[in-house]
Amino acid sequence: MATAGELAALAGLLADETRAGMCLALLDGRAWTAGELARHAGVAPSTATEHLHRLVSGGLLVERRQGRHRYVQLADESAAQLIEDLAARLEPRAVPAKGLRAAVASEALRRGRTCYDHLAGRLGVAVTEAMVGAGMLDVDGGFALTTYGKRFLTSTTGAELPGGRRPLARGCLDWTERRQHLAGVAGARLCETFLARNWVTRIGSGRAVRLTPDGGKALGELLDLDAAGL
C-alpha cells in the first residue's frame, strides 16, 4: 500500500509545467533526446536534464542510450495511462489559439493522434465505436474483445494474440472526445498496422496523425466506417 508521502512524491513529478509538458509530448510513444525535449519545452538543455533526471528517478520515464545519444521515453503503458487519465480529468475549455498554425495543430490533435502506442482523438474513438457496433468489442461486461474481435485482430494485423500481463483490450478515456478509445495490446497492434500500411500517417514530428485515402477505404471495408470528417 502506497504511503501518503509516496503518493505526494509521484504527484510532485507532474506538478511542474515543464515536466508535465515533456510527459505530454512523450505520449506520442516515441523516444526523444534531451535536446529535443528542451526545445519543445522552451528551456535550457541543463534545465531539461534536471527535469528528466527527476522523471526517470520517479519511474515515469526510462532512459535508453544508443552510442553517444541519450533518449528518454515513457516507462510503460501504465505511465502513459496515468498521464492521459489525468488530462481527461480536466474540464475542456476553449483556449484561443495563438495564430493560424497553432489552431491547425490543435484541430489536428483532436481529429487524430497517438496516445502512447494506440490511436486517439476522433479517429481512435470512431474505430473503437465501429468495432463495438460490429460486435468485436464487448463494453457491457467490461471492455473486452469478443471471439469475432479476436479473429478480426489476428487477420488484420497478421499476428497471433500474445500472452503476458498487459490487457488484450482496455478502454482509455479520450481527453478531447470524452469517450473511450481502444488501448491495450489490441489498440497497439491496430495502430502499428495502420501506420505500417500507410492507412494512417503522422503529421510532422508530433502526436497528430491523419487518415489517408487508402485508410478511409480500408476502414470502410473492414468496419463499415464512414471516414468523412476523420
Integer Cα distance of 28 and 73 in angstroms: 9
DSSP summary character for residue 35: H
CB 49 within 8 A of CB 34: yes
> What are residue 72's DSSP bridge partners?
32, 63
Integer Cα distance of 198 and 209 in angstroms: 11
Comparison of pLDDT for 34 and 68, the residue scoring more: 34
With cut-offs at 50, 70 and 90, classify the pLDDT of residue 101. Answer: low
Comparison of pLDDT for 158 and 141, the residue scoring more: 158
Residues of the chain with CATH 1.10.10.10: 4-75
With 80 as the cut, is the pLDDT of residue 154 above it?
yes
Q: DSSP assignment of 208-224, as one string?
A: BEEE-HHHHHHHHHHH-
pLDDT of residue 54: 95
- Select from 165, 213, 211, 191 the least CA-distant residue to 30: 191
Which cell is 95 given?
A: 483556449
CB 51 within 8 A of CB 19: yes
Expressed in angstroms, the distance from the first to the final Cα of the chain is 43
pLDDT of residue 204: 78
- Select from 152, 155, 111 the least CA-distant residue to 133: 152
CB 31 within 8 A of CB 64: yes
Q: Are strands 118-120 and 113-115 parallel, antiparallel or unpaired?
A: antiparallel
Integer Cα distance of 157 and 11 in angstroms: 37
- The label of the residue with cell 523516444 reads 31
- Select from 87, 175, 192, 199 the least CA-distant residue to 125: 175
* pLDDT tens by residue, 171-215: 988 878 888 899 999 999 999 999 999 999 998 777 889 999 999
CB 216 within 8 A of CB 227: yes
* pLDDT tens by residue, 23-52: 998 988 888 999 999 999 999 999 999 999
pLDDT of residue 103: 46
With cut-offs at 50, 70 and 90, classify the pLDDT of residue 104. Answer: low
Whole-structure pTM value: 0.75
With 80 as the cut, is the pLDDT of residue 97 above it?
no
CATH code for the structural domain at 4-75: 1.10.10.10
